[in-house]
């Protein structure tokens, strides 16, 4: 058993995708299932951490011992994350946050009138970028799901968002990505070091990631 090497630590994990309302019945969403984030939350609780899971809509039960806040939109996720940020030691942002939301949310169901329909989108706040700006002692870990130029984009995000680690996955590979139980990831560290993991269950990826984080914590305290 992986001992209790996160005992006494507070860890905030975000999971699943956000939903951005178009009208009372429709939304813009994405294919994130929440499996990776929930696996991380369960594994961190197993190691004795106090876990705050902030989740978009997902068909998954809260892992035992995890305190869960359910949100829908990026704005709600941002508020929930910022409310906890100052009190945590570690943040892992496994959520797939919508980059854009409809500029206006129709208060009635949109009727099918014209042959085309245009919905104007505006940019959502980048929550992790904001955390990178505010960070003091916290360890910040992001995820980068890409369909091409994985390492280029992942390294860019690591730097731009001021992260300690980013978990990069090419979601086009069979055995990786959304809504399945396995993942194939590369962990990129702040100093540029890269660790390539084979196809593993999301539980195994979670344990390895938490090992890396524990190592960083023992170095920094
Ligand atoms: O969407 P992007 O590829 O930039 O996501 C990289 C990381 O940033 C992920 O960890 C994601 O949870 C986070 N993110 C965020 N707020 C956004 C977009 C992404 O916190 N609006």
What is the CA 21 to chain-centroid distance, rounded?
Answer: 20
Instruction: Tell me if 5 is assigned to some domain.
Output: no
30 is catalytic: yes
Query: How many angstroms separate the alpha carbon of residue 108 from the centre of ligand 1?
Result: 30
What residue owns the CA closest to ligand 1's atom 5?
144
Instruction: Tell me if 4 is assigned to some domain.
Output: no
- Tracing tokens 């099918």 back to the chain, one arrives at 112
Residue 125 annotated in ligand binding:
yes
The number of distinct structural domains making up the chain is 1
Instruction: Tell me if 2 is assigned to some domain.
Output: no
Query: How many angstroms separate the alpha carbon of residue 106 from the centre of ligand 1?
Result: 26
Helix (H) or strand (E) holding 131: helix 127-134
Instruction: Tell me if 28 is assigned to some domain.
Output: yes
Q: Is 142 in the pocket of ligand 1 (CB under 6 A)?
A: yes
ipTM score of complex: 0.95
pLDDT of residue 2: 55
Closest CA to 21 of 62, 56, 55, 60: 56
Instruction: Tell me if 90 is assigned to some domain.
Output: yes
**pLDDT confidence tier of residue 1, bands split at 50, 70 and 90:** very low
If one residue of 91, 121, 126 were mutated to test the ligand 1 pocket, choosing by the most ligand atoms within 8 A of its CB, it would be: 126
What residue owns the CA closest to ligand 1's atom 2?
144
Residues 6+ apart with CB under 8 A from 142: 93, 128, 157, 158, 161, 163, 165, 166, 167
Q: Which domain holds residue 50?
A: 10-109+118-220
**For 181-191, how does the pLDDT look when each residue is reduced to its tens digit (9 = 90+)?**
999 999 999 99
Q: What is the CATH number of the domain that holds 137?
A: 3.40.50.10300
Closest CA to 126 of 117, 134, 118: 134
**For 9-49, how does the pLDDT look when each residue is reduced to its tens digit (9 = 90+)?**
999 999 999 999 999 999 999 999 999 999 999 999 999 99
Query: How many angstroms separate the alpha carbon of residue 9 from the centre of ligand 1?
Result: 23
Average pLDDT, integer, range 100-123: 97
Instruction: Tell me if 1 is assigned to some domain.
Output: no
């Amino acid at each position: 058993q992986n001992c209790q090497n996160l005992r006494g630590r507070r860890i905030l994990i975000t999971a699943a995708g956000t939903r951005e309302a178009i009208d009372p019945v429709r939304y813009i969403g994405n294919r994130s299932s929440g499996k990776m984030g929930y696996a991380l939350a369960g594994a961190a609780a197993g190691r004795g951490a106090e876990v705050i899971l902030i989740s978009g809509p997902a068909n998954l039960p809260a892992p035992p011992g995890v305190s869960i806040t359910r949100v829908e939109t990026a704005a709600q996720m941002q508020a929930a994350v910022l409310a906890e940020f100052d009190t945590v030691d570690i943040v892992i942002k496994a959520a797939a946050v919508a980059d854009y939301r409809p500029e206006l949310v129709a208060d009635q169901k949109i009727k099918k009138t014209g042959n085309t329909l245009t919905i104007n989108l505006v940019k959502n706040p980048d929550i992790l970028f904001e955390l990178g700006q505010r960070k003091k002692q916290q360890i910040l870990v992001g995820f980068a799901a890409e369909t091409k130029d994985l390492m280029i984009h992942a390294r860019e995000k690591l730097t731009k968002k001021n992260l300690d680690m980013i978990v990069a996955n090419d979601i086009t590979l069979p055995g990786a990505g959304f809504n399945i139980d396995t993942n194939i990831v590369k962990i990129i560290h702040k100093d540029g070091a890269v660790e390539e993991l084979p196809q593993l269950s999301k539980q195994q990826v979670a344990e390895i990631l938490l090992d890396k984080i524990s190592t960083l914590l023992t170095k920094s305290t």
